Structure 1
Amino acid sequence: MAGAVLAVLTLGVTAVPSGATTTPADTPQEQTASAIADSVRSAMADGHLRAVIIEVTQGGEVVTRQAFGTSMDGVPATTDMHFRNGAVAFTYLSTLLMQFVDEHEVTLDDTIDRWMPDLPEADEVTLRMLANQTSGYPDYETDPAWEAAWAADPFHIWTFEERLAYAFTRPVAFPPGTNWSYAHTNFMILGEILAEIGGKPLDQLLREEVLGPMGLTETLASVTSGVPDPVLHTFSSERRGALGIAPTTAFYEESTFWNTQWGTPIGANQTTTVSDMATTAVQVGTGALLSDSSYHAMTDPNLLGFGYTDPSCSPSCFTQVQGYNYGLGVVRSGSWILQNPLLAGISGTAAYLPSQEIAIAVAVTYLPGAFDAEGNYANAADRLFRSIGAVVAPDDAPPMPPG
């Protein structure tokens, strides 16, 4: 997931990517769908992608829903396949938080010592700071000891207590509210607090208050490694370095059933489909379940210009720019509201452009050539979303990184 952040650090100005086909607003839907398919095929060839599943809607109407490539060798990808949604779950947590704000159960400025008084700086860290990544809490996911433990057993189910212990082997990176730094620790803690506020397990709260009302019938939580059928299989080389495998030795393993509970709060480890991702983009992007004030608190670019790079939290801390700035559990990129997870050999993006009512959902899996000599790989779904955005909204395309 941290890679999803790093992939967009350089985003700044809006630009149509080289080679992208732009389409006037009055182009027939079939031609738009064809141009989108061309962008997908180009990305697959250039990025060594195994499978791509997309759905694009505008004004509630499906522009295109299509699958490309294979789930496994000889098994075509299909649009009804299930896959991990990673940080997309953060949008659901933030929606639930803002619902509690609308119901006057809490305020964003409540400090978390009300629920977790033993955490560092608990009397200064607020609910807002957890949701917008400004608490200063270190990310357990970047701790070398945790990375080694995960690489040794990617099927392990990480408990809240285990992750908390890894997170706070290091000191708080900066005084609460003084900088921005992406940390899974924030949402892990927020999930526990939301369950306490709501008086129910988080998965039940999310299902009753968010997923159900949003109409997300295929988005399901589980603490296990299970994925409902039909399954979009994923493959990865990211454990290469940790396992000491030489760059000259071929290494590519199935990662479909790695347990991804490590990256989300207990109760928010989810699988989904591309259609539920597109629906999520619309529901979150319009604030369908929230008051107007809570919607703007969650999605406005309130952190533009905030934050700075510092050795205590690098590379996860940096100044928020037009191309990438964080709301409450959502990313703002230009005029687009999105989430863009990267984990376990899959990347995804759910994005919405309010002014034109356009939703884009993308899921991507990878071929061996997508991984470098150390097993690193790019957030291809995020970049593909930006190419598709340039097709469907050429006058308000998502910002692209240089080159």
Structure 2
Amino acid sequence: MKPTHLRLRRACTAAAVTGALVLPAAAGTAYGATAPPPSPSATAPSDSTAPPSPDAGGHFPQLTPAVAARLDAAVREVMRETGVPGATVGLWAPGKGAYVRTFGVADKATGAPMKSDLHVRLGSETKTFTVTALLQLVDQKKIGLDDPIGDYVTGVPNGDRITLRELAGMRSGLFNYTLDPDFLKKLEGDPGQSFVPQQLLDYSFRHPVQFAPDQKFDYCNTNLILLGLVVEKVTGRPLHDVIARDVIAPAGLRGTFFPTGAQLPDPHAHGYTDQTASGRLEDATDWNPSWGWAAGAMTSDLQDLRSWAPILATGTLLTPATQAERLKTTPMDLPGTGYGLGIFNVQGWLGHNGSLPGYESLTVYLPQERATMVILLNTDVVHDGQEPSTLFGQAVTEIVTPGHVYPIHRPLVPRPG
């Protein structure tokens, strides 16, 4: 079988800080400016017009036209290097302004431009919603973080030892089903087919455990499938209904959905991937994300993700005690990075990223500045061993928060053969 990406398996920052999505005319505003923002098609500002760099503490500059021009130029350069069809980049910092831009095309066939209101697939950002639903049950005293998964789901290897906390924190030792060769072959043969959670677990459980529970961090989508089943068992409701009613609605999100099939709400960006049987680039817009389920099936848009970032990072939907547990991180491979319970901390940025065929997203919040960054891309094609969303995140943060720059020092884990 040819090498396969299926980057949902590693759509987390330790592996490459993944998950983003870009367009050609200015579809947003650099607020705080006294003049209209430059079009992304305009030339980059000269050195004489560039503002001084922000201080090393990472404080945001005022998002003036000059800063917006620097960001435009940086984003365009990443697009040129990576060949990303379309991207949306949003930055919001109270008292400093906002930057919302779209670049490139949302549909390569028609040339329709990327727009800031388009829906995209979230990939592993779904984990933030699933774990939030789980933690709400902790707050309701219906479950405990240190309960063994075997109390809720039978047949789990080491199920009497692996806790819900270890599943949410990626320390279970279970095999990641998205690395199973038979799973990859089946999905590659028909990307439109539907999977159910037990099928996904079966692919995982045919493999021995990788290590004893809580021995180390290892990003694994199997963990989230199990947590989704816990939520369903305890609530007696389907996971998509729990997330819709108990997480999305209280958060005030109107453009975020957990599809039960291949649905992607209109308007949406077309997504492009090379994770295909032929290895050629294909339109993956209508591929069925059911294989990601609780780990990666959701969809959203820019404005909802802008709202979700601070809700997730500050624990709006949880008690302070439970949020504190969520933010206890396990160190990852890159300096300054750690993973909590369905959330990462990368140089102070709290949130998650996502990547699956056709799309990448990155949604993070920097508490020191009360700043939000959202990046949405309509491709997941790797560039020189790096997820494109990571490259966009680095380019943006080098300008606005040099003390909190996204690291990209480690290449992707090799693709399974």
CA contact (8 A) 1:323 1:333 kept: yes
Q: Per the alignment, do residues 22 and 84 of structure 1 end up closer, same or farther by CA in structure 2, a change over 3 Å counting?
A: farther
**What one-letter code is carried by the residue in structure 1 that aligns with 2:84?**
L
Aligned to 1:261: 290
TM-superposed deviation, 1:398: 3.1
Aligned to 1:81: 118
Aligned to 1:282: 310
CA contact (8 A) 2:334 2:410 kept: no
CA contact (8 A) 2:170 2:220 kept: yes
Matches within 5 A, 1:36-185: 36-59=71-94, 63-73=98-108, 74-185=111-222
TM-superposed deviation, 1:173: 1.2
Q: Per the alignment, do residues 60 and 196 of structure 1 end up closer, same or farther by CA in structure 2, a change over 3 Å counting?
A: farther
Measure the CA separation in 2 of the matches of 1:178 and 1:332: 20
Q: What TM-score results when the alignment is normalised by the length of structure 1?
A: 0.84
Matches within 5 A, 1:3-402: 3-5=10-12, 8=15, 23-24=53-54, 25-59=60-94, 63-73=98-108, 74-239=111-276, 242-243=277-278, 251-265=280-294, 269-301=297-329, 303-304=330-331, 320-366=333-379, 378-401=386-409
How many residues of Structure 1 are paired with residues of Structure 2 in the alignment?
367
Q: Per the alignment, do residues 113 and 148 of structure 1 end up closer, same or farther by CA in structure 2, a change over 3 Å counting?
A: same
TM-superposed deviation, 1:51: 0.2
TM-superposed deviation, 1:125: 1.0
CA RMSD of aligned residues (A): 2.6
Measure the CA separation in 2 of the matches of 1:392 and 1:235: 29
Is there any run of 5+ residues in structure 2 with no aligned partner, and where? 1-7, 19-46, 55-59, 412-417
Aligned to 2:22: none
Q: Per the alignment, do residues 8 and 324 of structure 1 end up closer, same or farther by CA in structure 2, a change over 3 Å counting?
A: farther
Is there any run of 5+ residues in structure 1 with no aligned partner, and where? 12-18, 246-250, 305-318
TM-superposed deviation, 1:365: 2.5
Q: Per the alignment, do residues 22 and 358 of structure 1 end up closer, same or farther by CA in structure 2, a change over 3 Å counting?
A: farther
CA contact (8 A) 1:346 1:365 kept: yes
Partner SS for 2:247: helix
Measure the CA separation in 1 of the matches of 2:95 and 2:121: 24
Measure the CA separation in 1 of the matches of 2:192 and 2:385: 21
Q: What TM-score results when the alignment is normalised by the length of structure 2?
A: 0.81
Q: Per the alignment, do residues 218 and 10 of structure 1 end up closer, same or farther by CA in structure 2, a change over 3 Å counting?
A: closer
Give the fraction of aligned pairs with identical amino acids, expressed as a percent: 26
CA contact (8 A) 2:84 2:377 kept: yes
**What one-letter code is carried by the residue in structure 2 that aligns with 1:252?**
L
CA deviation vs aligned residue, 1:364-398 (integer Å, no higher than 9, x gap):
1249xx567xxx97421122122212222223333
Task: Tell me which moved more, 108-117 or 1-10.
Answer: 1-10
Measure the CA separation in 2 of the matches of 1:166 and 1:109: 25
TM-superposed deviation, 1:62: 6.0
Measure the CA separation in 1 of the matches of 2:240 and 2:317: 18
